[in-house]
């Protein structure tokens, strides 16, 4: 097989692996692919030399739509605050829909991602990189004054984590809404900066 043929077959089998996982309620192995297809084990092992290769391919297929969403937002000419909202909201809506479509599969994928975080970290890092690009655009427009980009990214990530972390969807469900996210983004753009507004003004906690 050529490299292009292997890449195409890898994507097809990764999609099939997700379907099998949804049907069986467990992670799909190479042996499961052999039993579900007419392919030989040797053929499967050519495409996925070890089990982790199959896992990686499955994760890539799950994240592909989100990468496309992020890149579409980055390439847009939206105002930066709207761009920031769309960057988070589109992925959140997609995850909410995936959870509603198959809660069991969604929870299983979250558990697998948590158990093998190092295998999915590149996707998290990519999202952070794109977020930093939007933060840089916002700072060029005068927002987030005095903050280094990485400091702004860390603060913002903590504030919107319930919308960006996949496992928050099953935990919070209908308490997460686009309107609430919009209010959070508006608040960020209204006042996030390096300025100390007084909340850190005492060394000790004091009774009112």
Overall number of domains in the chain: 2
Task: Enter the pTM of the model.
Answer: 0.88
Same domain, 86 and 162: yes
Q: What is the CATH number of the domain that holds 104?
A: 1.10.357.10
Last residue of a domain, one of 29, 49, 69: 49
Name the pLDDT band for 207 (thresholds 50, 70, 90).
Answer: low
Same domain, 15 and 94: no
- The model's pLDDT over 37-61, given as tens digits with 9 standing for 90+, comes to 888 999 999 999 999 999 999 999 9
pLDDT at 119: 87
Domain limits for position 60 = 55-191
State the virtual CA torsion across 101, 105, 111, 117 in degrees, nearest 10: -80
Q: What is the DSSP string of 145-203?
A: TT--HHHHHHHHHHHHHHHH-TTHHHHHGGG--HHHHHHHHHHHHHH-SS---STT--S
Same domain, 42 and 60: no
For residue 166, tell me if it sits in a domain. Answer: yes
Name the pLDDT band for 199 (thresholds 50, 70, 90).
Answer: confident
Same domain, 96 and 171: yes
pLDDT at 203: 66
Among 42-46, 197-201, 202-206, the minimum mean pLDDT is found in 202-206
Same domain, 20 and 71: no
Same domain, 60 and 130: yes
pLDDT at 5: 84
Same domain, 135 and 35: no
Same domain, 125 and 82: yes
Query: What is the rounded CA–CA span in Å between residue 120 and residue 124?
Result: 7
DSSP classification of residue 102: -
């Amino acid at each position: 097989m050529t490299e292009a043929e292997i890449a195409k077959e890898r994507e097809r089998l990764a999609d099939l692996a997700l379907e099998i996982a949804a049907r069986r309620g467990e992670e799909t192995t190479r042996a499961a692919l052999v039993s579900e297809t007419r392919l030989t084990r040797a053929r499967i092992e050519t495409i996925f030399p070890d089990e982790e290769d199959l896992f990686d391919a499955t994760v890539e297929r799950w994240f592909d739509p989100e990468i496309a969403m992020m890149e579409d937002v980055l390439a847009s000419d939206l105002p930066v605050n709207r761009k920031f909202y769309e960057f988070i909201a589109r992925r959140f809506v997609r995850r909410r829909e995936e959870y509603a479509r198959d809660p069991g599969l969604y929870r299983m994928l979250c558990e697998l991602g948590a158990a093998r975080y190092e295998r999915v970290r590149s996707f998290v890092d990519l999202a952070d990189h794109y977020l930093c690009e939007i933060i840089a655009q916002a700072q060029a427009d005068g927002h987030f004054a005095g903050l280094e980009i990485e400091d702004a990214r860390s603060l913002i990530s903590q504030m919107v984590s319930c919308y960006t972390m996949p496992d928050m969807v099953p935990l919070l469900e209908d308490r997460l809404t686009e309107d609430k996210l919009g209010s959070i983004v508006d608040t960020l753009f209204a006042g996030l900066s390096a300025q100390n507004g007084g909340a850190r003004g005492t060394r000790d906690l004091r009774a009112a």
